[in-house]
Copies of this chain bind each other. A is one copy, B any other.
Amino acid sequence: MDFAKEVQAKTEAINELIEGFLPEEEKYPAKVIEAMNYSIRGGGKRIRPMLMHETAELFGGAGVAVEYFMAAIEMIHTYSLVHDDLPCMDDDEYRRGRKTTHAVYGEAIATLAGDALLNYAAETALGAFDSDCDKYLVGKAVRILFNKSGIYGMIGGQTADIVSEGLKSEEITAELIEYIHLKKTAALIEASMMVGGILAGADKVQINALEKIGRNVGIAFQIQDDILDVTGNFEELGKPVGSDEKNHKVTYVSLHGLDKAKADVEALSKEATVLLHTMEGDNPFLEQLLLSMIDRKK
């Protein structure tokens, strides 16, 4: 099977798995549950649960336990999008060609649906205590998941991103851009790989390596985003090329130049691959998946 088809098949399997974890609609909070499920069903490639599953497979798999976490991390990712789209944040009416949650259900229900998804992510991940996985590992995985989604992870990145919008160009440092890339995007990629590894019994050295791989891939993904804004073409990107430059947006490329940006992506990618090869197991699909996140044209 070719890679693109394999990704598609795995995405569909994950969609089915997530569907099984969605809350049942009850009489009175029906509205918020409807909005939660609408948001989750918005799709995407389910890259985080996929990375989590494939990382667990690299260490021989983690049985049913990892499924709870695959659903939970997608709920966390989804809640962050629902709140990010709100009028007081990015104010987006469409996402992936579909009305955003607040555009359909109103701001109040969208705010509650985001809260509800984060809360339900905790409930779902904690459900893994019912699996036959070692309780110590489940506890460790839940803690990593929430640590990487909170103020020292994803929410920290979101905050820095919001705050940076109020800054003058000259106030935006390379350090700040790196922090945003690291926290806003890389944190959940790190969590995906670490949780997969933890549940499958990877040791401490391996978990640290997984964190580093996730970090490299997440940061390279974001730099690539900035590169494509300069070098991509309209058909592939689906948005005007050079829009960052036109908006005088400070990016990795505007700070470091295109050559260094490309070289850094290359180096981050190389290091991730080398680290992946230090692992005992072997999962060629995982390697391809990681590289596809970096080496992309759109």
Contacts and interface: CB of A to CB of B under 8 A. Distances in A.
Nearest to A139: B129
Given A114-B115, A120-B150, A109 B156 contact: no
Interface string A134-168: 01101100110011011110011111101100000
A12 to B, nearest CB: 27
Contact of A115 (B115, B126, B157): B115
Contact of A86 (B111, B138, B146, B163): B111
What is the total number of copies of this protein in its complex?
2
A66 to B, nearest CB: 18
Interface stretch (A26-34, A218-226, A264-272): A26-34
Contacts of A32: 151, 155-156, 159
Given A31-B159, A112-B158, A158-B112, A139 B120 contact: no
Interface residues of A, number: 54
Interface of A is mostly: helix
B29 A156 contact: yes
- Most chain-B CB neighbours within 10 Å: which of A86, A106, A108, A138? A108
A255 to B, nearest CB: 16
Nearest to A145: B122
A115 B28 contact: no
Given A112-B162, A115-B118, A26 B156 contact: yes
Given A88-B88, A116-B155, A126-B146, 12 more contacts: A28-B163, A29-B159, A31-B163, A86-B111, A88-B111, A109-B162, A112-B159, A114-B115, A115-B155, A116-B150, A119-B146, A119-B149
Interface of A: 23, 26, 28-29, 31-33, 36, 79, 83, 86-89, 106-109, 111-112, 114-116, 118-120, 122-123, 126, 129, 135-136, 138-139, 142-143, 146-147, 149-152, 155-160, 162-163, 176, 179-180, 183
